[in-house]
A and B are shown apart, each in its own frame.
Chain A
Amino acid sequence: MAAVEKIFNDTITDRETRDKTLKWVGTRAPRPDGVDKVTGRAKFGADTYLPNMLYGKVLRSPHAHARIKSIDMSRALALPGVKAGVTRDDFPDHPAGAVQPAGEMVINYRDMTRNIMAREKALYEGHAVAAVAAVNERVARQALSLIEVDYEVLPHVIDVEEAMKPGAPLVREDLITEGVEPVPEEPSNIAKRVEFGHGDLDLGFSKADVIIERSFKTQPVHQGYIEPHACLASFSEDGQAELWCSTQGHYVARGHCAKLLQMDVSKLRVTCSEIGGGFGGKTVVYLEPLALALSRKACQPVKMVMTRDEVFRASGPTSGASMDVRIGATKDGRITAGEAVLKFQAGAFGGSPVPAAAQCAFAPYDLENVKTIGFDVLCNRPKVAAYRAPGAPLGEYAVESVVDELAKTLEIDPLEFRLQNAAKEGTDSSYGPKFGPIGCVETLETAQSHEHYLAPLKPGQGRGVASGYWFNIGGQTSATLNLCEDGSVALVVGTPDIGGSRASLTMMAAESLGIELDKVRPLIGDTSALGYNMLTGGSRVTFAGGIAVHGAAADMIKQLRERAAATWDVPVDDVEWHGGQAVAVNGYKDQEDPMGLLDIAKDMAKSGGPIVGRCSTNAQGAGPSFGCHIVDVDVDKETGRVSVARYTVIQDAGKAVHPSYVEGQYQGGAVQGIGWALNEEYIYDENGKVENAGFLDYRVPVCSDVPMIDTVIVEVPNPTHPYGVRGVGETPLVPPLAAISNAVENALDIRFTELPMSPPRVLAAIESVG
């Protein structure tokens, strides 16, 4: 398998020559699941039905914070057509320290079991309090109205700074802050304090000619996937269960559900539906354990689907934040010190993305003295779920705003200023490790010479730029290649395809095997089909899946060479795999006709039986990805409306396996960022209830709000990946908030420090400066 090994070992220069010979990787091939998705055939979470199926519905807390004194299900269960009901009493509790690795993070099951079904208290409006299963939705809804819950309403807190104040209502009465010494004696809403950095801040600031310090505030937002959470659970009398659900990770969902329902993992088979968007919001479970518990009681299949209102009140979202940033620089544009204090809403349970925010905030820069401190703060909102580069967009919004203001103060071009301080290979990153090969400088230089950056602005317009960084991850991944008797190949992977990964994984499989793309048919296997797979998230699938698929191809090629060698009766070392064929080499050169997949497949039975290429690995060495965005805005000075006139995304992909879907990630991230920057926000009333739980008043960008999004794919290969791939999915959401804020500042000469920059806020600012 020399050819394949070589791909693993080759150097960057080998890679450049090899890139020229690539047949599939780097092309815009059709996606294997495409036709199903343009014809309506593809089955998403809510699109399956089973005989004898029940419909489940959830009763949710109308209060932001309330003690649950009693729950009386009797009248609901007595209603004809109601088959089962569940409450907190149907889920075993877990001790406080019951943390264990599951999916991406250690999961605290004491918290998770309380998040899926309230126990002592309802901790946010929309918190699940009970659920029922009935013969149809109408009866299920009627049953909910018959459940009697006795609440003792408690004072609530939403805003992160309010929640940190002494005397604030306590979301959890016994919470002692982690990460501070001495250990506090009093409980508070502050779950955790984290700190990163290196060098000497005082020394750094003493060397600065200019120091700028600003405070920022952002409102909480939601991932906004178009498909609501949905699942269909079927428990049989013998304790085995099947679960169909829309999830970013069906193996991870299986682990959570088995733990929450105290069943053997092997007794639960989870199949992932097509997934209608997730952006991190479908890495956790909400309905799944409830549907399983209801099905176990009713011994009938139970389908549950969230309404849009439930999605906004009870799922996701991400943190609102308060952030203080201070950066100093010398007259000639060298940053001498950077400091950030980040306070993030965690929601009802600890675990906001503030650590990642603190690590990423200064990552685009090569700094001698840097320190970031983060606070993870409980409040009466749903526990936040991951949202695309979790935390990074917020931290970098604050830092990149101050960096921009420094450049302006020093009268240095903002890209030039960033380049003068840019992180590069060998830089000690702001969070610790030395960077390997990275594309930060390349993205900035590409931006500098981009036609967009050089184009003149129209009167009244403003232009902004910002950099962004995300780590990317690898993780456990399995893939199988089954050689069919006609020489075609069935590829089985275990990561839900959220945006074209069937295409990229199939292309890498065909490339590594050296065969035609249409000879490889991909399938997303259920949890019984493969070894463990971590979820689709952290921009890991094309990276880690590529390594697994490539490894499975190597395993299959090894067997193909052995079969050919045995058939020819020559030593296996004298058989190589080239261009999809076994070729006799060395002393046997030209003595045997090469054997392709079909030749070997048709005699597979005679030569030793089925040929299956397997790879199960824990992919390491994910390549970080940097991006730089350029945006032009128009501001209507009489109404305060900001509109995006032009937008360009420049980002390092390492290697774009399918450029169209890489561009798609860049464009989608930019537009989510436009929404976050300009209009998206949760609005709470004085009782802590969400006032805009729908797409009418939670304003995600619509088609007419945005221009075309230009993209430039920079390729600085990731040496740890056979094809040089870096993750690309998350970084695109990191720069937009600052880039747009910087553009508005450039247009109005007003620095905004609060998001969203909605028309009332913008007009108020314009009029306050006269």
Chain B
Amino acid sequence: MRYEAPETKGEAVSLLAMAEGSGRVLAGGTDLLVQLRSGVVKPGVVVDIKKIVETREITTENGGFRVGAAVTGAELDEHKALKKLWPGVVEAVELIGSTQIQGRASMGGNLCNASPAADSVPALIAAGAQCHIAGPDGERTLPVEEFCTGPGVTNLQTGEFLVSFSLPSRPRHSGDAYLRFIPRTEMDIAVVGVGVSLSLDSNGICVAARVGLGAVAATALLVTEAADALIGTSVDEGAIEIMTSAIRSACRPIDDKRGTIVYRTRVSGVLAGRACRIALQRAEQS
């Protein structure tokens, strides 16, 4: 196994292109090293992207932010302005593993690992985040909800890698939140995860909403029916009730060691309601 740490996107792309699929991108490594140790992956070359400036920066971008794919959870947590604009997204990233994991794990890695249970993904979907991808044919952008195509499978083509995310600006009276359920208080993989983002007009009527749902299908989902249940309402309990049933009917989970179909479906609605109330409160206060 070769280890390379290029300093430009171009070098990284050509290294990955030459590897013809036997290349693996290393950001925080909190998933990759476990896979290397267990022999699940045997890459010919590991391309460490952390020396590429764009993957490590948080910069403002027309009222929103551009966040490098390899920026760690700990660094996000320390970025006051980003935390103020998208608290739900930052909270979601902070839920990935322990303090030690936070010192390494990144949103980019969390997304590219393509686990249906990735914590940051439903929050990024709710936030309407875009992925910036570098590749042999130049750069392209993709909405987060279109990035993963199945468990462990992404839309990335050979030679491509995820450089950064765009988190958009947002009007006043907007708020987001992410909640997940785990059996313990820490250190577990999400059994269910729900991200909610909404904007209110000056009369407190919901004018825009997005709801992301994780760990209940092959990939994290954008649930437009759930959002539609909120838009045009004052996000009263009645609307939330309709939203939660939309969430439950969007669930297509499996039975596994972490939860049952029944349990995941049941709890997804519960968390959606709770996350929605937090997002609402934040919107009202912003």
Residues of A participating in the B interface, judged by any CB pair closer than 8 Å: 309, 638-641, 643, 678-679, 683, 691-692, 695-697, 699, 701-702, 704-705, 758-760, 763-764, 767
Checking B186, B187, B263 against A760 with a beta-carbon cut-off of 8 angstroms, the contacting residue is B263
Task: Please determine whether B181 and A702 come into contact, CB atoms closer than 8 angstroms.
Answer: no
Residues of chain B with a CB closer than 8 A to A699's CB: 183-184, 187-188
Residues of chain B with a CB closer than 8 A to A701's CB: 184
Residues of chain A with a CB closer than 8 A to B231's CB: none
Residue B173 is within 8 A (CB to CB) of chain A in the complex: no
Checking B257, B262, B271 against A697 with a beta-carbon cut-off of 8 angstroms, the contacting residue is B257
Residue B267 is within 8 A (CB to CB) of chain A in the complex: yes
Task: Please determine whether B263 and A696 come into contact, CB atoms closer than 8 angstroms.
Answer: no
Task: Please determine whether B260 and A683 come into contact, CB atoms closer than 8 angstroms.
Answer: no
A721→B44 CA distance, assembly (Å): 65
- CB-CB contacts of B249-286 with A at 8 A, as 1s and 0s? 00000000111101100110011000000000000000
- CB-CB contacts of B181-200 with A at 8 A, as 1s and 0s? 10111111101000000000
A767→B262 CA distance, assembly (Å): 11
Instruction: Indicate whether A696 sits within 8 Å of B188 (C-beta atoms), given known contacts A691-B257, A763-B266.
Output: yes
Task: Please determine whether B183 and A679 come into contact, CB atoms closer than 8 angstroms.
Answer: yes
Task: Please determine whether A705 and B184 come into contact, CB atoms closer than 8 angstroms.
Answer: yes
**Min CB gap A459→B, angstroms:** 19
Residues of chain B with a CB closer than 8 A to A696's CB: 187-189
Residues of chain A with a CB closer than 8 A to B262's CB: 760, 764
Residues of chain A with a CB closer than 8 A to B191's CB: 759
A692→B257 CA distance, assembly (Å): 8
A482→B267 CA distance, assembly (Å): 65
Task: Please determine whether A639 and B184 come into contact, CB atoms closer than 8 angstroms.
Answer: no
Residues of chain A with a CB closer than 8 A to B271's CB: 639
A763→B183 CA distance, assembly (Å): 12
Residues of chain B with a CB closer than 8 A to A691's CB: 257
Checking A643, A705, A760, A767 against B260 with a beta-carbon cut-off of 8 angstroms, the contacting residue is A760
Q: Known pairs A638-B270, A705-B184. 12 more at Cβ < 8 A?
A: A309-B38, A639-B270, A641-B181, A679-B183, A679-B184, A695-B187, A697-B257, A699-B184, A704-B184, A704-B186, A759-B181, A764-B262
Chain B contacts with A in 52-88, Cβ cutoff 8 A: none
Task: Please determine whether A683 and B184 come into contact, CB atoms closer than 8 angstroms.
Answer: no
Task: Please determine whether A702 and B257 come into contact, CB atoms closer than 8 angstroms.
Answer: no
Task: Please determine whether B257 and A704 come into contact, CB atoms closer than 8 angstroms.
Answer: no
Residues of chain B with a CB closer than 8 A to A759's CB: 181, 183, 191, 263, 267
Which of A638, A643, A758 neighbours the largest number of chain B CB atoms within 10 Å of its CB?
A: A638
**Min CB gap A389→B, angstroms:** 24
Task: Please determine whether A760 and B270 come into contact, CB atoms closer than 8 angstroms.
Answer: no
Task: Please determine whether A641 and B263 come into contact, CB atoms closer than 8 angstroms.
Answer: no
Residues of chain A with a CB closer than 8 A to B181's CB: 639, 641, 759
Task: Please determine whether B263 and A764 come into contact, CB atoms closer than 8 angstroms.
Answer: yes
Q: Which B residue's beta carbon lies closest to that of A698?
A: B257
Task: Please determine whether B184 and A697 come into contact, CB atoms closer than 8 angstroms.
Answer: no
Which of B257, B260, B262 neighbours the largest number of chain A CB atoms within 10 Å of its CB?
A: B257
Task: Please determine whether A704 and B185 come into contact, CB atoms closer than 8 angstroms.
Answer: yes
A169→B28 CA distance, assembly (Å): 47
Q: Which A residue's beta carbon lies closest to that of B191?
A: A759
Instruction: Indicate whether A763 sits within 8 Å of B267 (C-beta atoms), given known contacts A683-B257, A691-B257, A692-B257.
Output: yes
Q: Which A residue's beta carbon lies closest to that of B185?
A: A704
13 contacts between A and B (CB under 8 A): A638-B267, A639-B271, A643-B185, A683-B257, A691-B257, A699-B184, A699-B187, A705-B186, A759-B263, A760-B263, A763-B263, A764-B263, A767-B266
Residues of chain B with a CB closer than 8 A to A767's CB: 266
Instruction: Indicate whether A760 sits within 8 Å of B259 (C-beta atoms), given known contacts A638-B270, A639-B267, A639-B270.
Output: yes
Residues of chain A with a CB closer than 8 A to B184's CB: 679, 699, 701-702, 704-705
Instruction: Indicate whether A702 sits within 8 Å of B270 (C-beta atoms), given known contacts A697-B258, A760-B259.
Output: no
Residues of chain A with a CB closer than 8 A to B257's CB: 683, 691-692, 697
Which of B183, B258, B259, B266 neighbours the largest number of chain A CB atoms within 10 Å of its CB?
A: B183
Instruction: Indicate whether A702 sits within 8 Å of B263 (C-beta atoms), given known contacts A683-B257, A691-B257, A692-B257.
Output: no
A106→B262 CA distance, assembly (Å): 48
A759→B181 CA distance, assembly (Å): 10
A691→B258 CA distance, assembly (Å): 10
Residues of chain B with a CB closer than 8 A to A763's CB: 263, 266-267
Q: Which A residue's beta carbon lies closest to that of B274?
A: A638
Checking B186, B266, B267 against A702 with a beta-carbon cut-off of 8 angstroms, the contacting residue is B186
A638→B267 CA distance, assembly (Å): 7
Residues of chain B with a CB closer than 8 A to A309's CB: 38
Residues of chain A with a CB closer than 8 A to B185's CB: 643, 702, 704-705
In the complex, the 10 A-B pairs of residues with the closest C-beta atoms, listed nearest first: A760-B263, A704-B185, A638-B270, A683-B257, A691-B257, A705-B185, A704-B186, A679-B183, A702-B186, A702-B187
Residues of chain B with a CB closer than 8 A to A639's CB: 181, 267, 270-271
Residues of chain A with a CB closer than 8 A to B186's CB: 702, 704-705
**Min CB gap B281→A, angstroms:** 19
**Min CB gap B168→A, angstroms:** 32
**Min CB gap B30→A, angstroms:** 12
Residues of chain B with a CB closer than 8 A to A679's CB: 183-184
Residues of chain A with a CB closer than 8 A to B258's CB: 697
Residues of chain B with a CB closer than 8 A to A641's CB: 181, 183
Q: Which B residue's beta carbon lies closest to that of A684?
A: B257
**Min CB gap A310→B, angstroms:** 12
A702→B266 CA distance, assembly (Å): 26
A679→B266 CA distance, assembly (Å): 19
**Min CB gap B40→A, angstroms:** 13
A704→B266 CA distance, assembly (Å): 25
Residues of chain B with a CB closer than 8 A to A697's CB: 188-189, 257-258
Q: Which A residue's beta carbon lies closest to that of B269?
A: A638
Q: Which A residue's beta carbon lies closest to that of B38?
A: A309
**Min CB gap A420→B, angstroms:** 38
A683→B258 CA distance, assembly (Å): 10
**Min CB gap B269→A, angstroms:** 9
Q: Which A residue's beta carbon lies closest to that of B258?
A: A697
**Min CB gap B47→A, angstroms:** 22
A704→B187 CA distance, assembly (Å): 10
Q: Which A residue's beta carbon lies closest to that of B187?
A: A702
**Min CB gap A313→B, angstroms:** 13
**Min CB gap A60→B, angstroms:** 14
